[in-house]
Amino acid sequence: MRPSKRDELVEKALLVFYRHGFHATGMDRLVAETGISKTSMYKHFSTKEDLILAALALRDKQFRRWLFRRMEQLGSTPRGQLIAMFDSLKEWFAQEGFQGCMFIKAAAEYQKSADPIHMKSAEHKSILISCFSDIAKRAGAADPDTLACRLMLLKEGAIVAAQFGITKNPAMDAKAAAKILLADALGQ
């Protein structure tokens, strides 16, 4: 089967991009850090942008799978799962290589809203919002979209705060705030 080498490339490239940034990562560095020849890279992806898009697609899949699985493990009810999101975030922030959100960083480096990389990043956030909205609906929210938006604000804020390291425990700050917003939206 052919997927192995290509998938290996995308996985390793994802780590390198995450650690060093997009513009700051040259193809030669990718060759050095992935151990995959430049020829192979350009056989699988004809431009650096294509490789970045593939890395973002993988990250989107990885992150969503991880987050929603963890939320289900930590929360037994829809409401509990929404709160558990912030416990999950706390675990993420505590991971050794944590350096913020891949998509925020991608959008920061590729700013034009028409840029494919920017669009891919925005798409990830949109998907998350609609997933949150689904859970909010199951939790009985009268206006699940609004609740999802508010939780998203806390989540993105917590990620940014964690990236800067300006507050001690942004995930738990966000969790406390989320509980208040959930009480307002769902009662008690």
Partner DNA sequence: GGCATACTGTACTGATCTGTTAACATAAGG
Partner DNA sequence: CCTTATGTTAACAGATCAGTACAGTATGCC
Q: Alpha carbon of 44 to those of 6, 61, 138: distances in Å?
A: 7, 20, 42
12 binds DNA (CB under 7 A): no
Looking at the Cβ atoms of 74 and 104, the one nearer to a second copy is: 104
Each residue 18-57 as x (binds DNA by CB under 7 A) or -, in order, gives: -----xxxxxxx-x---xxxxxx-xxx-xxxx--------
CB 41 within 8 A of CB 31: yes
Measured CA to CA, the distance from residue 142 to residue 163 in angstroms comes to 33
Of residues 4, 28, 165, 188, which one binds a second copy by CB under 8 A?
A: 165
46 binds a second copy (CB under 8 A): no
- Is 23 strand, coil or helix? coil
Minimum gap (Å) between residue 45 Cβ and DNA = 8
| DSSP letter, residue 143 | S
Of residues 41, 84, 85, 154, which one binds a second copy by CB under 8 A?
A: 154
Cα atoms in the 13 Å half-sphere on the side-chain side of 2: 3
Looking at the Cβ atoms of 24 and 94, the one nearer to DNA is: 24
- Is 156 strand, coil or helix? helix
Residues that bind DNA (CB under 7 A): 2, 4-6, 23-29, 31, 35-40, 42-44, 46-49
